[in-house]
A and B are shown apart, each in its own frame.
Chain A
Amino acid sequence: MPPILVIARLTVQETSRRRLILALIILTLIVVGFSAWGFNKITTVTGSSGTVLPPEQVALVSSQLLIVVTFMYSGVLALSAAVVAGPLISSEVESGLLLSMLARPLRRSEVVIGKWLGLAVLIAIYAAGSAALELAAVDWATGYLPPHPVQLVLYIGAEGLVLLSLGLLLSTRLSGITGGVIALVAWLMGWIAGVVGDVGIGLQNTAVENVGVVSHLLLPTDGLWRGAIYALEPDAFLATLRAAGTFARANPFTQVDPPAITYLAWVVVWFAIALILSIWSFRKREI
């Protein structure tokens, strides 16, 4: 097996044996169970008229609630990716674990890419698995399915990969706890900068709007999250948003347009830059 895949396998094995995967599976099943129960309640609650909600309103409420639930999932994924990636290299350098391995015919770039790959596989599986379970639960409870489930998984997964890449880059220089905290703060700041950008759109103030644009370029987590929101919005809701004009765009939980192709191309370039920087930084590090 090529060294990159050996390191990737080792990374998956470590997270599995440290019971992180088991903990995530159990927590996800609990959340899915609760949300299925909660979504089912939407079909049975009565409005002021004393009747249950009509199907189109059930779909609308479900779509909005699903965006909030997905935000929680993206948070769990971002948090896990940052916390796991933060010490990915630094802890092994500090403990000396990498010494005997790097004395083998193993390139530092192979360590970086292998670790990234191992966690990327886990993030992809988690994003796909948790989305499939959650959407199945919502479908069972309400009969509602979002319009673009595959894109949803891709956007949420990519958001996790951004934090993994950032955490890994920081891990080549900083201690695990420092790198993890910085990655998390960056994720939250990225989200807040996105909200600031929304306010700029609402106020039609280009300077404030650009805060969001620049933050989406520097750390694409919020930009990708907006893609996930778009994937969750039913056409009828989108039509209402578009009709409402600029103010409808000034909301961190709504998205009128999907991310531009050029932006998605930039995200791919961002991944490449982050990985190249990680490899360069780790190569330069004295161990």
Chain B
Amino acid sequence: MSLSKRFGRTVALAGLTMTVPRGEVFGFLGPNGAGKTTSVKLLLGLLKPSSGEGWLLGRPIGDLETRRRIGYLPELFRYQGWLSAQEVLALHCELAPLPRSSWSDEISTALDTVGLTDRAKDRVSTFSKGMQQRLGLAAALLGEPELVFLDEPTSALDPVGRHDVREIIRGLASRGTAVFLNSHLLSEVEQICDRVAVVDHGRVIASGTMDELLSGSAVKVRVEGLDDAAKSKLSTFGDMDDEGDQLTFTRLKAERVPELVSAMVELGGRVYEVAPRHQTLEDRFLQLLEAEEK
């Protein structure tokens, strides 16, 4: 635990401490450069930590035997363009290593799951980026791994593909596979993850189940006529996300909403819309990052 990683003078990860339970879909969130991919590479043993230690499926990270039980779709996905999709998967079956008798079934099931059955014999060099990402996902699913790392698994996919990936992740979770999901797409994470951790500047700044993290409610107000001085007076009502005419207040109880509207009117604001709602992961994510900046 408390993994850290430096690249020269750059601190990529400064004391990462977290636990990912088996059989859950774990969302790992953070802004660009927060250390998400570095964390995954450390856990897979592709990078060596500068300090600290970690455990994966009960074994120290980097353990060769553990890798038999893991699937991985890298953020930078690339497969041998001179091989066919089927051959790439056969290569991964061989390296996994899976019993040769199971390859045929494993490959056809994986190709079917990601929707590439009709392109099985085509060379990967003829694939679009989205298809290559699907192929990478198929490779990660081979051999029914106990833990699957998916680093931005939908970055090259269209909306249908994203939907398919959500279904695949749900399918993995239903059969007891733990999924470690790195994603920028907060709505996606919100839909499928049981538990999330938010990382920034190489540190986990919040973690917990989705319910624990999104316990508060939020109120979105469309209001005109408020200057910065007036807006700053409203900060007593809770954490405020200022997007010009749209102000979003988190950690604000519903019974205080009339009081908030009165205060806005007194400060000269013209209120057009007040929409109380449950806090979204995006609200919470932005709130956490802003708090971290302060």
Contacts and interface: CB of A to CB of B under 8 A. Distances in A.
Contacts, number: 69
Interface residues of A, number: 22
B77 A96 contact: yes
B277 interface: no
Given A6-B94, A6-B95, A100 B79 contact: yes
Interface string B75-86: 011111011000
Contact of B92 (A1, A13, A95, A100): A100
A235 interface: no
Interface of B: 7, 41, 44, 46-48, 64-65, 67-68, 70, 72-74, 76-80, 82-83, 91-92, 94-97, 136, 139-140, 149
Given A6-B91, A287-B46, A103 B82 contact: no
A286 to B, nearest CB: 6
Nearest to B64: A105
Contacts of B73: 100
A150 B42 CA distance: 50
Given A14-B80, A14-B82, A96-B76, A103 B46 contact: yes
A95 to B, nearest CB: 5
> Chain A interface mostly helix, strand, loop or mixed?
helix
Given A99-B46, A286-B47, A287-B46, A104 B95 contact: yes
Given A102-B46, A103-B44, A95 B96 contact: no
A104 B92 contact: yes
15 contacts: A1-B94, A14-B80, A99-B74, A100-B92, A103-B74, A103-B149, A104-B67, A104-B92, A104-B95, A105-B65, A105-B68, A105-B96, A105-B97, A107-B64, A286-B47
A101 interface: yes
Nearest to A14: B82
B74 A10 contact: no
Contacts of A10: 80, 91
